[in-house]
Structure 1
């Protein structure tokens, strides 16, 4: 092995591919690329919508992480991600948290925000209690340095997070036998339509996904700092530079 080959081997990593998977259409290829951060971080197939889980395991994961217990819950899970997701809460919360940390009187401003945010959430069709939860969590994450590994400035939208989760959810639903492939591909195609106008390229998409992950964690965990951010940032880095990445093969 020559010096170039040795260096290439040192700085590259193989993405998981499912042997014998059906060829993807260009539309399917692009849809799967939305979930590539999950695939790279979790060593899931880049070329097939599966987690390679048996149906019982997939159903257990769906019940625990998605509150999907059977076919009747599928439409609601997809509808949340495609029509609301966490992007609505982020759009409400993130600018206000930025205001707090840019202000000389942040504590007073924070109290003012918390007094108004429930009504503002209701006006936007969001759950007021969840909006309060994410406001407190995102403020807490910023206060303890949880934004230090995130882009500065933060992205205007985290629709990348919601779109990628459509792909991740579809993998589980297909493994569990709760949707047909056509249903899953239709949902992933809708996610492409949501995500493409929001970013100029895959790097913006990937970084926004990581911010979405951090935002989600801040509102759902006792610890507002996501301990897996480094792994997801690393997955984005790999997708942007490692041979075999769908992000290098496909124009955004």
Structure 2
């Protein structure tokens, strides 16, 4: 039932393609045509473009504009989204939520999840040749091998992590880069992720943007909050590619749904492959 609801919700998100900027309000290219590059360079300075690039991983997933601070949703939709998803209804509730993302976020709450993923990776990587061959031929053998190796029962571990048993298995398989999915472009990168700071930083950039559009805070304050984790992000990762993989893994740990994982992989990879996207134009460091 949960997976059905996830598929239904995903079907309602307009992210079949990237949305760059509001139609009819773009800048002009060399030949007079509208271009994402012209619109963005005309409206935003480098620091603002960096924040747009950071937030674009989430915007690619939700179908919002990736090269503009404006939104595809109207004021009522933005306010409803902030309240339903975040409990943000005014400036004070935004500041409280933003500060929580800055101080701890999910990266702290999900530390046990990351430790389990790391242990799973290490156990399989250090297994014998025969076991590695078995896992490659019959992937389902990895989970019972890991449990036996560590005298662990997922029926006890999963509830302690706030997950169902099937969700825990899916999280480990994706975190190790061995899941079977329709959109698996980022799986190889995910096996190297050991910090999901990006999951908090990308969402911080986006709620700051939406709170500004809702009229709760000024643009200056929105940029101030959105940039609070910038240095940590640059110290933790080496590229936008790594940010994208870490953000995606964070989203999957938060809600290990096959449907969500495939949608996240598809949209983030679509973003990283598009030369018009700011993540392919703005220097990460």
- CA offset at residue 187 of structure 1? 1.1
In structure 2, the gaps of 5 or more residues are 1-16, 27-38, 124-145
- CA offset at residue 100 of structure 1? 5.8
Pick from 86, 107, 113: which aligns with 1:66?
Answer: 86
CA–CA distance in structure 2, aligned partners of residues 240 and 61 of structure 1: 26
| C-alpha distance 137-84 of structure 1, shift in aligned 2 (>3 A) | farther
Checking the alignment, whether the CA contact within 8 Å between 1:173 and 1:179 is kept in structure 2 is yes
SS in structure 2 of the partner of residue 63 of structure 1? helix
- CA offset at residue 173 of structure 1? 0.9
If the length of structure 1 is used for normalisation, what is the TM-score? 0.74
Q: What residue is the counterpart of 1:172 in the other structure?
A: 210
CA–CA distance in structure 1, aligned partners of residues 18 and 193 of structure 2: 29
Deviations 1:37-71 (A, max 9, x none): 22223332223223243322222111110011222
Q: What residue is the counterpart of 1:237 in the other structure?
A: 269
Q: What residue is the counterpart of 1:80 in the other structure?
A: 100
- CA offset at residue 106 of structure 1? 5.5
1:189 aligns with 2:200: no
Pick from 109, 114, 121: which aligns with 2:152?
Answer: 109
Checking the alignment, whether the CA contact within 8 Å between 1:210 and 1:232 is kept in structure 2 is yes
Pick from 17, 20, 27: which aligns with 1:16?
Answer: 20
Pick from 199, 202, 206: which aligns with 2:237?
Answer: 199
Checking the alignment, whether the CA contact within 8 Å between 2:241 and 2:272 is kept in structure 1 is yes
CA–CA distance in structure 2, aligned partners of residues 166 and 60 of structure 1: 17
Q: What residue is the counterpart of 2:9 in the other structure?
A: none
| C-alpha distance 191-159 of structure 1, shift in aligned 2 (>3 A) | same
Checking the alignment, whether the CA contact within 8 Å between 1:16 and 1:43 is kept in structure 2 is no
In structure 1, the gaps of 5 or more residues are 1-12, 115-128, 219-224
Q: What residue is the counterpart of 1:9 in the other structure?
A: none
1:160 aligns with 2:166: no
| C-alpha distance 236-142 of structure 1, shift in aligned 2 (>3 A) | closer
If the length of structure 2 is used for normalisation, what is the TM-score? 0.66
Pick from 223, 243, 250: which aligns with 1:212?
Answer: 250
Checking the alignment, whether the CA contact within 8 Å between 1:94 and 1:138 is kept in structure 2 is no
- CA offset at residue 154 of structure 1? 4.5
Checking the alignment, whether the CA contact within 8 Å between 1:160 and 1:208 is kept in structure 2 is yes
